[in-house]
Chains A and B, each alone.
Chain A
Amino acid sequence: MESTAHDFKHNVSDALANPNLQDSLAMLKVGFSERRRLAAERLPEFELLRDRARDIKNHALANLDFYLEEFERKVIALGGHVHWAPTAADARRIITDLCKSVGARTVAKSKSMVAEEIALNDHLEEAGIAPIETDLGEYIIQLRKEPPSHIIAPAVHLTKDQVADTFLEHHGPLGFTKRLTERNDLVAEARYVLRQKFLDADVGLTGANFLVAETGSSMLVTNEGNADLSNTLPKMHIVLATIEKVIPTLEDAAVLLRVLARSATGQESSAYTTLNTGPKRDGDLDGPSAYHVVILDNGRSSVLGTEMQEILRCIRCGACMNHCPVYGAIGGHAYGWVYPGPIGAVLTPQLIGVEEAGNLPNASTFCGRCESVCPVRIPLPKLMRHWREREFERHLTPKAVRQGLALWSFLARRPKLYRRLTGIANRVLALFGRADGRYGTLPLAGGWTRFRDFPAPQAGGTFHAQWARHGGARTRP
């Protein structure tokens, strides 16, 4: 998708002025975090499992080449195919060619953030192949021609009424002419419409939550069962997954599954967790006759061994955005590209360039709530800070910030001069603010005073001035 990350501040203004979005975010902020908290409390081993999940992913990353080769060997042994795609363009070409090889007209797609990352739908459409999103949220936003606003709840920015209008507009021509008002009716209508599309699809395309090296299996976690229909009904199943999805064994998967569902939705387990291993076997009554795995790099191998490596542990649960107060204020679209929230603030500059997405790692208070809930303990604030350091090194930091910082650091390194100047500043500010105790406007502080009053300093001089004046004794009771 076309990035608008460079326009972040403009996106923010739009998001804050969008009442439907703000209503949806109000629900998200309490819902997800409370459910996750309860789920974590119900499992005494949860913190130990998080440690283990982190260690498993670290081990897999340290031996990534080995496990990818092992995975490939197992897939081939059971009659599947593995395709290696260094770039997004390679993956798009491989998938389009595979679809063409079976004369596909429609592709049933199960929600895949990687497919969003490589803008697969646009390319399939250009090749005359219709991608049909089957995850309910993805389906809704596909009809509305919007990008996802959340990695596990792509339509979380919409209200029920907006969905009802969208369905009326798009399902009306299919004979569904009543505007629905109940959620369960909306779900039932989508189920009915999509069921036929599943039955007609030539290819099923899914992502993967994990690739299991031990068995050559792709593992998918959903609640709806759409991924399972996508990998069962069409004659070809294509799995699109990035290199860091590979994990060693099924035992490792068990650990990761335990933290994934709880972190994502607060469920003990998602409704469907499915292992697919190769195509339909002899005697099977259903299943695809061809099974292809497309392994995409798209820049990830170059992240290994760098200070950003820890981001490759991510299992895409969405907990970081569910708990992020910035995401909670502005929603996912404001981030301007595929991955929103704290994970997006780290990943997006990596994938589309820090020149384009430089605002994202800066738009954080470093409150640390994301890190505190991350199931694989990614130090997201630290990684955002690394981006700020790279921006600073490359002189991408805004000029006003650099100049302010230069002046401040000059003073901060000269304590005596600093002391004299803060003494003056304190007295001047106190003098002007004494009547009200605060300022409604203040020169050079428009960013603050546009929305907030600015408290005036206490009278009597700075702390250090008072301390010195009285020879190191207290001046206030």
Chain B
Amino acid sequence: MSDDSSPRSQILNGIRRSLQRGPLSGEAKQAVEARLAAPPRGPDVARARLPQPEKVALFCQWAETNNATVARVAAGDVPGEVSNYLARNNLPARAAMAPSPLLEGYDWASQKMLSLRRGRGEGSDQVSITGAFAGIAETGTLVMASGPDHPVTLNLLPDTHVVVLREADIVGGYEDVWERLRARYGKDRMPRTVNTITGPSRTGDIEQAMELGAHGPRRMHIVVVRE
């Protein structure tokens, strides 16, 4: 691929010299290729191996432990819950929303006071509303896959991030998310960005005391949608 004096060869050959072998070949190479093709999982984390309803409950519990707020509602009540949440917290009834088919199934027009702008996040946005690719029960973590329907800036710039998550999209651990990502996007083609987000932005950089809202949202509200 490149001559022996290239920086690339210097590094790779240096590694091989230290490991006292040439480039992998034969069985050794087949073994690592097989490992890549069928990634082995690590030790099973028992606490998230649960039937779906308990998984949902565990997700909600950990999300709250990590300083998010959670509301569990029926599909028809999603827009109402979002409006109410904003009102309850004295937040503006104005939000940047992901142009996502996941969100278009809800009757946002029913909320007369709520003004929505579909698009990416801007520095001036106070509130964003997005869906989520998945939720991880083990730690109450949201998984956001970037794409035209989910700009990354919506996850990061506004002060308040409202996330709509379907119960069916709550899985046990990271490994289940990886499987879903491969199934959806192809094994060799991750989305540009996968954000896994556990609660609001925070920092412990001053005297180790946790403060919320370092750079990303100060508040995270998760609307879990019952099927």
Contact = CB atoms under 8 A, between A and B. Distances in A.
A121 interface: no
B18 A295 contact: no
A228 B161 CA distance: 15
Interface stretch (A253-261, A404-412, A418-426, A465-473): A253-261
Contacts of B195: 228, 272-274
Interface string B137-159: 01111000011100111011100
B146 A287 contact: yes
A135 B205 contact: yes
B41 A251 contact: yes
Nearest to A212: B190
Which one of A53, A84, A187, A271 has the highest number of Cβ atoms from chain B below 10 Å of its Cβ?
A271
Interface string A267-280: 11111111111111
A287 B214 contact: no
A70 B36 CA distance: 10
B153 A223 contact: no
Contacts of A156: 205, 208
Contact of A44 (B46, B198, B199): B46
Nearest to B121: A286
Interface string A106-137: 00000000000000000000000000001111
18 contacts: A24-B207, A49-B43, A65-B15, A65-B16, A68-B12, A68-B15, A84-B11, A140-B205, A153-B208, A154-B205, A226-B214, A231-B193, A250-B39, A271-B66, A275-B193, A281-B147, A285-B119, A286-B152
Interface string A64-104: 11111110001001100001111000100000000000000
A286 B6 contact: no
A297 B14 contact: yes
A215 interface: yes
Interface stretch (B87-95, B106-114, B172-180): B172-180
Interface residues on A, range: 35 or more
Interface stretch (B19-27, B69-77, B78-86, B163-171): B19-27
A243 interface: yes
Contact of B173 (A184, A215, A254, A279): A254
A250 B174 contact: yes
Which one of A70, A252, A301 has the highest number of Cβ atoms from chain B below 10 Å of its Cβ?
A301
Given A65-B12, A283-B148, A268 B62 contact: yes
Given A243-B11, A248-B32, A153 B204 contact: yes
B42 A155 contact: no
Interface of B: 6-8, 10-12, 14-20, 23-24, 29, 32, 35-36, 39-47, 62, 65-66, 119-121, 123, 138-141, 146-148, 151-153, 155-157, 173-175, 178, 187-209, 211, 213-217
A65 B23 CA distance: 8
A69 B84 CA distance: 52
A421 B148 CA distance: 83
Interface stretch (A188-196, A328-336, A390-398, A455-463): A188-196
B18 to A, nearest CB: 4
A287 B193 contact: yes
Interface of A: 24, 27-28, 31-32, 43-45, 48-49, 52-53, 56, 59, 62-70, 74, 77-78, 83-86, 90, 134-137, 140, 153-156, 158-160, 163, 183-184, 186-188, 190-191, 194-196, 198-199, 213-217, 223-226, 228-229, 231-233, 243, 248-255, 257-258, 265, 267-281, 283-287, 295, 297, 301-306
B39 A84 contact: no
A78 B190 CA distance: 9
A254 B178 contact: yes
Which one of B119, B153, B203 has the highest number of Cβ atoms from chain A below 10 Å of its Cβ?
B203
B146 A284 contact: yes
Contact of A86 (B11, B32, B205): B11
A59 B36 CA distance: 12
Given A254-B178, A271-B199, A69 B12 contact: yes
Contacts of B214: 136, 187, 190-191, 223-226
A287 B215 contact: no
A160 B193 CA distance: 35
B19 A304 contact: yes
Given A66-B29, A68-B12, A85-B7, A136 B203 contact: yes
B174 A253 contact: yes
Contacts of B139: 268-269
Give the 9 A-B CB pairs with smallest separation, nearest first.
A225-B216, A255-B42, A224-B214, A137-B205, A249-B39, A304-B18, A301-B14, A254-B174, A283-B148
Which one of B24, B188, B207, B213 has the highest number of Cβ atoms from chain A below 10 Å of its Cβ?
B207
B7 A66 contact: no
Contacts of A224: 201-203, 205, 214-216
Given A231-B193, A284-B146, A265 B204 contact: yes
Contacts of B16: 65
A323 to B, nearest CB: 15
Contact of B192 (A59, A191, A276): A276
Nearest to B197: A272
A226 B151 CA distance: 17
Given A32-B208, A199-B123, 10 more contacts: A49-B43, A62-B19, A66-B23, A137-B203, A158-B206, A187-B214, A251-B41, A255-B43, A267-B198, A285-B151
A280 B192 contact: yes
